[in-house]
Structure 1
């Protein structure tokens, strides 16, 4: 009776909410209206008291809560509704919603506790227009797998906020796919950009769950290029989405392909209670298993046949679609495997044009992208790309969604190639998840703290990064130190298990050593690590002496500041009893090292985190360079080089979630590694690619804002957003890149830093002479500028500078006369400055010129005929003619404050210059390395050898006339075929 009453309540609320497609309205009035013809029991449920009582007993995954969640989040996210002036995803917006519903404070609180306000930093979406079909008011199909997945995540310990964030992000993807029941076939293509090892699998699992609920009936997951990755993805989907009943299909437990999996035995695989089809849902039929990729077999062909309730109607009609089972396969990106799938699809009786298909491409920038040179005549696609294109041709209702943390190769695909996988319909950038450790957690990006003042408290580098600087190839000092750290952090985990973690424990504890892809090198490295391990003496005096020093000088100082409440021993003596146990867990089976690559004769142990607890040292080959999750990774020893940012970032296996041991994570990273004839700094390389990535994400965020209800840009306009900070570290491999041209780039209130200065003496002299009158007019005395942000020390943003006010027209005249390198990359900035200067009414009145001066008397020189010495800056060219980073981080905050981008900063000098239509120009006279000895000796600099670099911040209010931030011209010539 209670179950029937709950069902009736859901039906009543569904009807009431269906009458609110545009705005929330009084709930009780709607409930009463829709209950009139439904009988006495329905009228009893048409009260706020009944709703409140139901909420007090409800779980966050109950059907009633799911119904309300869809509607509340829809209203929370609405961009500019007519019924409220509040900002999306805020407490104020939710208050307005609940008030419009006429709910009491008690009911409103109960509802919000079950459906929290979505986090403000949601996904960023670049999208073309699309036909809304996946809305709270028009959801079709049977909501079965998404509620089950949501419930499982809650049971795993995901917070309500984290699950809501996933709910919102997956909605952003699914709503941009085609309606699976539409009579007209449409093929959408999109890209989801996450962070390395940050939960992308959770996102596409949610997308699959919602898509099959909505009616997609064939799901093809391209699970990487290696068996290891495919198997890892298959297991994850089977455990969290498919469920025990769909796996067994009536067979006994011991026949399951997971019979020897501890998680299966412990009941951690999702259970539906019965076949979903027997409970009002629909089944998922697996076409691949944990051990078997797709195979071309008779039973496989039969299994691909889709049953129809109404044989005369197409499969995609609701009468057939929602009564049919879904098919799921996880296949390797392998030409042979994909060829078998294509062959079998051509054999089935179900017309392929009737099947709504979802293709999920994990690690979409690897193997999937066509790397054949399009400029060569009659060029053929590369193998995997050709097979994916063939699938898309065969399946007109197929939707393609790529997932990657390194999207540059995908946005460089030719958008005019209709047969390729360019994400023409949408790009979704996922937010950085709570608790995630990424590149910025190991670097001090734009830290205002001077390097000399950085400590374990304010520097991520000092806390987590240790340099690898070797005297020779035979020098094992740093590697031994890393092994000691691995044992010491293992002991710390055991100590924490015994002191405060309760029933929780660290199932895995791993170290990664990544030096080379060559199996010969890995064989030698394994031998070296074995020798170091067995000579370490971890249970004897020599081992304890080393660990004591390491604990006192490294582990204890960091953990006491960054342990986030986790237990930290007062002394090494308190930790020492756990060291022996840690060493035994790692090497007690005489196998402390596992080599993970394709050379089977040296794979002395399988790195299967699903089937056993692993406390091991992993030596990495190709298998560990992309996609594979190394559970419990705490210490990384990394020396391997890569030639582009995508490959290097994917090698960063130390990124991920480190709950309970963030303070113990250590990265030993190569400094001064040889690359051809050059030496490179891997720490700088990771920092530069982080800047490239964050710049890409930041621009996506800005361009996602609609103008007059229309998107500023579409995915086809993405390539110019990709930057490159190091000359040798390209965004992706050269055979995945093409070019496009930005014609205007204007970012009000943002620090802009041109770097494309010429190298020819005559042009350098010309530029310097343009700036000389401005430098001559600067103030005689310096002024001290500062910005005291919340919780920051006063020294963080303090500097002295000469000042001057430059009218807007004069600054524009200088910019129009400057010489640049041949790339034309400053033109988009110049176009923007022209527009805001010549606009009516004007968007900028003047520019404050700041010429920062060093605190010491060093690095000062006379420039041309200037009668006084000015500070110069030591920088170098790092990308052809372009300079590397020019800015000094402490200069940014005062400049941003003056331009209106930051709130009050507490410094009288800075505040004096703040004005609504004022920009800031920061001058950096740059002396290059070859000229420094002469300048330092003579205190004179030849104008023809000075790079007059500068940065500028336009007024935060200086938006362009149409509100757009960027305008593009894509140089790719049009091709035949639909877009």
Structure 2
């Protein structure tokens, strides 16, 4: 599990510096391996990625400096393990202060804090440990004096490095708590000089960014939301630090203004361990795990449904059979169901009533043989459903029912909210089987142990993709019991999760291809399903243009008189030479006389190259072309994105390339805006009677199931005098691309400055 210098030096582009793995990290990884939390291969990956992240940070040997990094994982994939490993590695490399900004509510902060203590072995009774934990320091509490003394140790030349403990500061992501920390550090600013610091902002996209960013652009003001203001103050008071934004949904940090202090300088992605189950599994086309809640049942109330909605009953049956299988196997772990009907607390009471009524009724029927047999028959559909995914390992329905009485007596239905009884922490060790009913608290950052069945009738809402993805508490390390997992959602929510899979994959591939490069230089681009926006508009400082890649895409402007024309002539000539040396040039009307119909007598015939590599088209044509307008450059980028996604799944994909009119110049007029009038030649004559048709029309020169490329040349009638060869308005290269329906994508692109 030790990361070698050779491994670090092989990273391209290179790191700012090379962290060294010493005893603290070694012991940390050893304890993780002994606890069985991950195998050696997974821990090696975690350690390697921690080195890569730390190596992008401000080097500890430099006297001062600041930076901002973005670390992107998957929902419920182990981001906490990453930053605890990073913390151990920071200790080994001389970082004196690690600040964890964790959770917008106390229970989420406590969850992260306890995990940090557990992972690092922080104990209040072990004076020999390399850590001291300071929680929510303020000038008027004892934590401030402890912080002062510990920082003074770092300044003392009389102490060996082993006696200088790394200070772990945990603070709630709330403006007053952050302000208290800033006040403490400001009072200790002289001591802070020369002490390297990491600031880890867990779920950094949630409440740390400026909610007035978009409004400020319109009003030309500089309003700051409270948390954002204090995060800026925190960065300002730390002379040597790197601020690391940890999140599974990076859309917001990527879309704040590039001049924003929190705009990341670099990004790193995290690799999930084996056994991780995410959207690519649960929401792949045809997957049996995602179920649709009918709209009428999704809005069910006591008035409309005196009894529980049928889909909720089905979900509960599947969950209980899974719990029975767990009981039969005598496993010492949890199996849970999550019901997430609304952010509002009022509907939770109704769902709790439905669930408890069902559980009570079924429990009462079990002692009576005839009623028990009838009840077991009612579970047949659920058993059949589980057989599809569990297979032969699923016990028979009669065997499962031997544990039903036990499970129904043990299972607890609990409300989980931020107030009242629902605010109490779940004591997971008290009980094996839980059904949790809640709202916002079951969103981002909350971990439901042993979650198998999720019932979420909550609507799509405003359609911010990052918020929707953060509802996915049903992702995680579930490979060992995946067959028992189900997700019940509305149809539009299911569609959103399905679309998010590609959206997420594309973002990660873009960040990985930009690794080690200044992230501010990366032009933001996203693939996103209809009805969704990447994040809340209030924080966005980057304007996005939208292009839908469907049917025909082509540059609209003529670029007459611009340098792009001369450049593109060279690109076209080279590409044509490439085609003619590698592929066979055919007469299109001879390849398919009916489809590519052309009986014209006085027109140059269309030529065709079949099965041309899409990768060749991208490399030798699309990527090389220049455009004189922002609109056309944006369209070209959208084409590149669409073709890039095609190649990601099918590297050997091919297309058809047509030379329209055998590249003989065709005359066109221009609009007042300089765009081309009537790009495509239509049918000749314009008739629906195929028997009388002499030419099928340019738009018919395409394939239905693969990409089609048109190449041609124009001369433009910008005066009454026809242009001469060599004029700026003649010999203008032009192309169009047709994408089949399966490549239709909605693409959002960072607008040109």
TM-score (norm 2): 0.72
Match of 1:496 in 2: 329
**1:422 match:** 263
* Residue aligning to 1:716: 520
Of the candidates 425, 429, 432, which is equivalent to residue 272 of structure 2?
432
Q: Describe how 1:154-165 pairs up with structure 2 within 5 A.
A: 154-157=33-36, 158-165=38-45
How far apart are the structure 1 equivalents of 2:641 and 2:433? 56
User: 1-side partners of 2:8 and 2:742: how far apart?
Assistant: 31
* Cα distance in 2, alignment partners of residues 75 and 604 from structure 1: 50
The aligned residue for residue 493 of structure 2 is: 682
Kept in 2, the 8 Å contact 1:305–1:349? The answer is: no
1:338 is matched with: 178
In structure 2, what is the equivalent of residue 663 of structure 1?
Answer: 483
Q: Where does residue 448 of structure 1 map in the other structure?
A: none
1:412 Cα deviation from its structure 2 partner:
1.1
- Give the one of 528, 537, 547 matched to 1:734: 537
The aligned residue for residue 115 of structure 2 is: 236
Rounded Cα–Cα distance in structure 2 between residues aligned with 1:865 and 1:333: 68
Contact 2:523 2:750 in 1 (8 A): no
Using a 3 Å threshold, how does the CA distance of structure 1 residues 701 and 174 change in structure 2: closer, same or farther? Answer: closer
Q: Work out the CA distance in 1 between the residues paired with 2:16 and 2:381.
A: 64
Written as runs of structure 1 = structure 2, the 5 A alignment for 1:547-626 is 547-551=379-383, 553-560=384-391, 567-569=393-395, 571-586=396-411, 592-600=412-420, 602-603=421-422, 606-609=425-428, 611-626=429-444
Say whether 1:297 aligns with 2:230.
no
Partner of 1:963: none
Deviations 1:347-368 (A, max 9, x none): 3375233332211100010001
Alpha-carbon RMSD:
4.2
Gaps of 5+ in 2: 367-371, 555-585, 596-606, 643-651, 659-682, 692-701, 711-735, 744-748
Q: Decide whether aligned partners of structure 1 residues 658 and 348 sit closer, same or farther in structure 2, where only a CA change above 3 A counts.
A: same
2: CA distance, partners of 1:423 / 1:229: 25
Q: Which residue of 2 is the match for residue 384 of structure 1? A: 227
Q: Offset at 1:173?
A: 0.8
Question: In the TM superposition, what whole-angstrom CA distance separates every residue of 1:203-249 from its partner, at most 9, and x where no partner exists?
Answer: 00000111022111121101110111101011111111033xx3225
**1:415, CA displacement in angstroms?**
2.4
Within the candidate set 475, 479, 486, 2:312 is matched to 479
Of 200, 203, 212 in structure 1, the residue corresponding to residue 91 of structure 2 is 212
Partner of 1:629: 447
Inter-CA distance 575–529: structure 2 relative to 1 (3 Å threshold): closer
Return the structure number with greater relative CO, CA threshold 8 A, min gap 6: 2
Mapped partners of 1:185, 1:779: distance in 2: 70
**What residue number does 1:468 align with?**
293
- Alpha-carbon distance in 1 for matches of 2:290, 2:504: 20
Q: Any conservation in 1 of the 2:551–2:741 contact (CA below 8 Å)?
A: no
Contact 2:8 2:52 in 1 (8 A): no
- The counterpart of 2:16, out of the listed 126, 131, 155, is 131
Query: 2:18–2:51: 8 Å Cα contact kept in structure 1?
Result: no
Residue of structure 1 in register with 2:507 after alignment: 696
Shift in Å at residue 190 of structure 1?
A: 0.5
For the pair 1:512 / 2:338, whether they are aligned, the reply is: yes
Aligned residue in 2 for 1:533: 359
- The alignment partner of 2:16 has SS state of coil
CA contact (8 A) 2:466 2:534 kept: yes
- Kindly state the Cα deviation for residue 507 of structure 1 after the two structures are TM-superposed: 1.6
Q: Output aligned runs, 1:748-787, within 5 Å.
A: 754-755=549-550, 779-780=592-593
Of residues 529-538 and 330-339 in structure 1, the stretch that sits farther from structure 2 once superposed is 529-538
Indicate if the aligned counterparts of 1:358 and 1:400 stay in contact, CA closer than 8 A: yes
Instruction: Render the CA deviation track for 1:35-66: whole Å, top value 9, x for unaligned.
Output: xxxxxxxxxxxxxxxxxxxxxxxxxxxxxxx7
Aligned with 2:102 (options 223, 245, 255): 223
C-alpha contact (below 8 Å) 1:358/1:398 kept by paired residues? yes
Counterpart position of 1:546: 378
The answer to whether structure 1 residue 201 and structure 2 residue 4 are counterparts is no
Equivalent-residue separation in structure 2 for 1:316 and 1:971 (angstroms): 52
| Counterparts of residues 872-883 of structure 1 (less than 5 Å) | none
| TM-score of the two chains, using structure 1 as the length reference | 0.56
User: How far did residue 431 of structure 1 move?
Assistant: 2.0
CA–CA distance in structure 1, aligned partners of residues 657 and 28 of structure 2: 57
Counterparts of 2:689 and 2:88, CA distance in 1 = 72
Q: Deviations over 1:382-405 (max 9, x none)?
A: 111111110110011121111100
SS at 2:430's partner residue?
A: coil
The aligned residue for residue 283 of structure 2 is 443
Give the conservation status (yes or no) of the 8 Å contact 2:251–2:535: yes
**What is the deviation of 1:702?**
3.5
Give the C-alpha shift of residue 816 in structure 1: 9.3
Deviations 1:43-101, CA, capped at 9 Å, x for gaps: xxxxxxxxxxxxxxxxxxxxxxx7xx332xx4346549xxxxxxxxxxxxxxxxxxxxx
CA distance in 1 between counterparts of 2:482 and 2:588 reads 49
Distance in 2, Cα, partners of 1:829 & 1:666: 36
Judge conservation of contact 2:150–2:167 (CA < 8 Å) in 1: no
Task: For structure 1, list consecutive stretches of 5 or more residues without a partner in the other structure.
Answer: 1-65, 81-124, 250-274, 277-281, 446-458, 498-504, 562-566, 587-591, 672-680, 705-710, 743-751, 760-772, 783-801, 834-843, 851-861, 870-885, 896-919, 924-946, 955-967, 973-979
TM-aligned CA deviation for residue 698 of structure 1: 2.2
Report SS of the residue matched to 1:381: coil
Give 1:950 shift. 1.6
Match of residue 169 from structure 1: 49
Q: Distance in 1 between matches of 2:703 and 2:26?
A: 50
Shift of 1:306: 4.4
Cα gap change, 1:848/1:204 in structure 2, threshold over 3 Å: closer, same or farther? same
Inter-CA distance 821–176: structure 2 relative to 1 (3 Å threshold): closer
How far, CA to CA, are the matches of 2:611 and 2:378 in structure 1? Answer: 61
Task: Determine the structure 2 residue equivalent to 1:283.
Answer: 130
For 1:132 and 1:187, locate their aligned partners in 2 and report how far apart those are by CA, in whole Å: 15
Provide the residue aligned with 2:571 in structure 1: none
Question: Please, which of 120, 124, 134 is the counterpart of residue 247 of structure 1?
Answer: 124
The whole-number CA distance in structure 2 between the counterparts of 1:318 and 1:741 is 56
**CA displacement at 1:324 relative to structure 2:** 1.2
**Who is 2:671 aligned against?**
none
Shift of 1:584: 1.7
Query: Is the CA contact (8 Å cut-off) linking 2:212 and 2:223 kept in structure 1?
Result: yes
Q: Cα deviation per residue 1:764-823 (whole Å; 9 max; x = unaligned)? A: xxxxxxxxx9986752489xxxxxxxxxxxxxxxxxxx98649999x979x9999x9968
Structure 2 CA distance, aligned partners of 1:469 and 1:180?
Answer: 56
Q: SS at the partner of 2:246?
A: strand
Describe the superposition over 1:271-311 as per-residue Cα deviations: whole angstroms up to 9, x where unpaired.
xxxx43xxxxx5311112xxxx44543422211124589x9
In the alignment, the residues of structure 2 paired with residue 440 and residue 657 of structure 1 have an alpha-carbon distance, to the nearest angstrom, of 13
In 1, distance between residues paired with 2:737 and 2:750?
Answer: 30
Paired residues of 1:187 and 1:399 also in contact (CA < 8 A): yes
Q: 1:630·1:653 contact (CA, 8 Å) conserved in 2?
A: yes
- The answer on whether the counterparts of 2:258 and 2:541 sit within 8 Å (CA) in structure 1 is no
Residues 354 and 575 of structure 1: is their aligned pair in 2 closer, same or farther, counting only changes over 3 Å?
Answer: same
Partners of 1:636 and 1:669 in 2: CA distance: 8
Indicate the SS of the match to 2:549.
coil
CA shift at 1:664, angstroms?
Answer: 0.6
Q: Distance in 2 between matches of 1:468 and 1:522?
A: 17
The answer for the alignment partner of 1:75 in structure 2 is 6
